[in-house]
């Protein structure tokens, strides 16, 4: 009788623990979705507001200017990775996550209220750049703190599954931006109204959502790993302290490079690619990208669960091998097709291997570092690598297109994926050799 009672009590505790974890992951993920919605709203509506800030008769040049500014904002992400990583490692993950979403709120408001080039001249793109810098700072901190929080709040057996929701909500942010775009395109505004002033609406929505997310994040509970470590271990919170882990830092750079370049190619750049290179209409472009992102979202927890069963390393190697072999054929065929349905299938085919990186890259990085410096260890090298290879991907692609050799970008992307494959093949499997084990 006593054993049965004990068993019921244990089951109750287990259920309570699962509910606590799920609630924490949900709230943390909602904030992540809002931040990435704000960030991706820029890309989703670039086709409408680019002429307002970068007047030029050539649409490719307009998009190139917008893409260059998109890439420039990534220069702030390493600083954001350090600042918010410092806050997360010293004062807790919750504080860092809350402040980062507040920062994103300000960036969205600035974009929503910025006058056009016709009104204030060069000051317009300058203010736009300032807003994007603020958003880049916010996202630089969001990734490290979010990856750390989701990894720490999950149990060891399901860490890959739970952590995959970082990219579920990251992609969900872009999906939300596209939904807003579709509603404005199809229901509420005409194309002329969208180009004139309607593109400001999504940034107002983003600012309001960011306030809501900040309030929700204030109610997050701190992770057990941070609470336990803060009692016995003093966080280093410095670049010098981070340099005590040179191998881990280089691993983050190497395993991120190919994945982030592929991710930004098949998300951020795809909307421009299928419109300017494939030749789809604006409506077809939106539907194709939306559908492929839904497919990508569904893949994340599946791959995360697979990594919990067989390890992280095989999943990463799968991305590296298939990405190296399939990137050029997929992009070449995609450019040649004129069918929206075929474009959708080809982008989904790319996501079958890209998800091998996106689904688990956050947990792999978190498993490399001890608690005392985990947020900085994840955030800083990741942000630097994304700035170099991820944020620049659309600009590099459009530059190659402007030169009349768009196919050069296909080989550029393939080369970066191959370099990351070399890292995947030689690194340890963090599922089995994790720095988080000591805090279970």
Span 207-222, pLDDT tens digits: 888 888 888 787 777 7
Question: pLDDT for 24-33, tens place per residue?
Answer: 777 767 777 8
Report the distance separating Cα 111 and Cα 205, nearest Å: 12
User: How many Cβ atoms sit within 10 Å of the Cβ of residue 386?
Assistant: 27
Is the pLDDT assigned to residue 426 strictly greater than 70? yes
Which tokens sit at 139? 């996202």
Encode pLDDT of 306-343 as tens digits: 999 998 999 999 999 999 999 999 999 988 888 889 99
pLDDT, averaged across the chain: 81
Q: Which of 181-185, 198-202, 349-353, 380-384 has the highest mean pLDDT?
A: 349-353
pLDDT class of 8 with cuts at 50, 70, 90: very low
> How is residue 149 written in tokens?
């929080």
Whether pLDDT at 74 is above 60: yes
Q: How far is CA 408 from the centre of its chain?
A: 25
Token code pair at residue 213? 């997310």
Tokens of 6: 């004990």
List, for residues 134-169, the tens digit of each pLDDT value: 888 887 778 778 888 887 777 778 888 888 888 888
Q: Which residues contact 212 (CB under 8 A, 6 or more apart)?
A: 34
Residue 422 confidence (pLDDT):
95
Going 13 to 15 to 21 to 23, the CA torsion angle's sign is: negative
The confidence score (pLDDT) of residue 238 equals: 66
Q: Which of these, 104, 102, 106, 117, lies nearest to 49 by C-alpha position?
A: 117
Are 77 and 139 in contact, with CB atoms under 8 Å apart? yes
Nearest-angstrom CA–CA distance, 359 and 160 = 8
Compute how many other C-beta atoms are within 10 angstroms of the C-beta atom of residue 301. 18
The closest alpha carbon to 45, from 32, 68, 24, 63, belongs to: 63
Task: Give CATH superfamily name and number for 25-439.
Answer: MFS general substrate transporter like domains (1.20.1250.20)
Q: Write the pLDDT tens digit of every residue in 333-383.
A: 988 888 889 999 999 999 999 999 999 988 888 888 887 888 888 888 888
What pLDDT, on the 0 to 100 scale, is given for residue 269?
A: 86
* Prediction pTM value: 0.81
Q: What is the CA 33 to chain-centroid distance, rounded?
A: 9
């Amino acid at each position: 009788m006593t054993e049965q009672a004990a068993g019921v009590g244990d089951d109750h505790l287990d259920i309570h623990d699962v509910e606590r974890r799920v609630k924490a992951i949900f709230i943390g993920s909602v904030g992540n979705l809002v931040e990435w919605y704000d960030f991706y709203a820029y890309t989703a509506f670039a086709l409408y507001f680019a002429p307002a800030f970068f007047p030029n008769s050539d649409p490719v040049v307009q998009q190139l200017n917008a893409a260059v500014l998109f890439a420039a904002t990534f220069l702030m992400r390493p600083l954001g990775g350090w600042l918010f990583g410092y806050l997360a490692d010293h004062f807790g993950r919750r504080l860092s996550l809350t402040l980062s979403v507040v920062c994103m709120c300000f960036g969205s408001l600035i974009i929503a209220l910025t006058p056009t080039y016709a009104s204030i001249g060069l000051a317009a793109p300058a203010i736009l750049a300032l807003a994007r810098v603020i958003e880049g700072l916010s996202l630089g901190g969001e990734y490290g703190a979010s990856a750390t929080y989701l990894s720490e709040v999950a149990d060891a057996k399901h860490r890959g599954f739970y952590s995959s929701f970082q990219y579920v909500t990251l992609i969900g942010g872009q999906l939300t931006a596209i939904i807003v775009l579709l509603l404005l395109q199809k229901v509420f505004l005409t194309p002329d109204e969208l180009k004139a002033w309607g593109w400001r609406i999504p940034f107002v929505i983003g600012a309001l959502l960011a306030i809501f997310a900040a309030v929700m994040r204030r109610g997050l509970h701190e992770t057990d790993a941070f609470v336990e470590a803060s009692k016995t271990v003093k966080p280093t919170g410095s670049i010098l302290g981070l340099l005590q882990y040179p191998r881990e830092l280089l691993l983050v750079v190497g395993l991120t490079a190919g994945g982030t370049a592929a991710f930004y190619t098949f998300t951020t750049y795809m909307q421009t690619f299928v419109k300017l290179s494939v030749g789809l209409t604006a409506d077809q472009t939106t539907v194709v990208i939306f559908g492929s992102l839904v497919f990508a979202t569904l893949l994340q927890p599946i791959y995360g669960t697979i990594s919990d069963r067989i390890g992280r390393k095989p999943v990463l190697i799968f991305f590296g091998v298939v990405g190296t072999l399939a990137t050029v054929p997929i992009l070449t065929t995609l450019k040649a097709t004129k069918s929206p349905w075929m474009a959708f299938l080809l982008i989904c085919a790319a996501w079958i291997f890209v998800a091998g990186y996106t689904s688990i890259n956050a947990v792999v990085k978190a498993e490399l570092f001890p608690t005392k410096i985990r947020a900085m260890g994840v955030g800083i090298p990741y942000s630097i690598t994304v700035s170099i290879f991820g944020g620049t991907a659309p600009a590099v692609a459009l530059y190659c297109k402007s030169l009349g050799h768009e196919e050069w970008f296909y080989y550029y992307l393939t080369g970066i994926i191959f370099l990351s494959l070399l890292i995947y093949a030689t690194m340890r499997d963090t599922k089995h050799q994790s720095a988080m084990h000591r805090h279970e």
